[in-house]
Amino acid sequence: MTYTNPDSDHICQILRKTHTIAVVGLSSSTSRPSFRVAQALQDAGYRIVPVRPLIDSVLGERAYPDLESIPFPIDLVDVFRAPEHVPAITESCIKLGIKNLWLQDGVIHEEAALHAQQAGITVVMDRCMARDYTRMCKASPHASIISPHQPNG
């Protein structure tokens, strides 16, 4: 069985229903794609929750060392980590009942994506969330700062 992303309508539906996004691997460096994507999503009205050990805050939001440490519900997990970290992140999403998992450009782990789908999680893989929001869901003009060819951070 091979993994297939949801169609454009379903992706846009996810993006419109999402309010709170945990960004795993969010860098505090403004030059990193993870920062620019999270900033664009924040500018579009999403609540960004940084998930990265050893930092206190990013984009004015308190950071948490892992998904399990976040004390409130998360609508979607956006991943800016190397593919080998995806299985553990997937397991955390399953354990916490998070229903949407987004793996940014270049973050590909088909086995974990299929496992997450089997657990009832909607997975979008190897796509940029801010770029898709801009193209599919008429994001704010601020979100257009994301280049479609930026590597993930």
* Domains within the chain, CATH numbers bracketed: 8-145 (3.40.50.720)
pLDDT (tens digit per residue) in 8-54: 999 999 999 999 999 999 999 999 999 999 999 999 999 999 999 99
pTM above 0.85, yes or no: yes
pLDDT of 143 strictly over 50: no
Structure tokens at 42: 């924040």
Tokens 């770029």: give the residue. 131
The whole-number pLDDT of residue 138 equals 61
Nearest CA to 112 among 75, 78, 132, 85?
A: 85
Whether the per-residue pLDDT at 149 is higher than 80: the answer is no
Give dist(CA 77, CA 99) in Å, integer.
9
Task: Report pLDDT digits (tens) over 105-129.
Answer: 999 999 999 999 999 999 999 999 9
Chain mean pLDDT for the chain: 90
Q: Which amino acid is at 54?
A: L
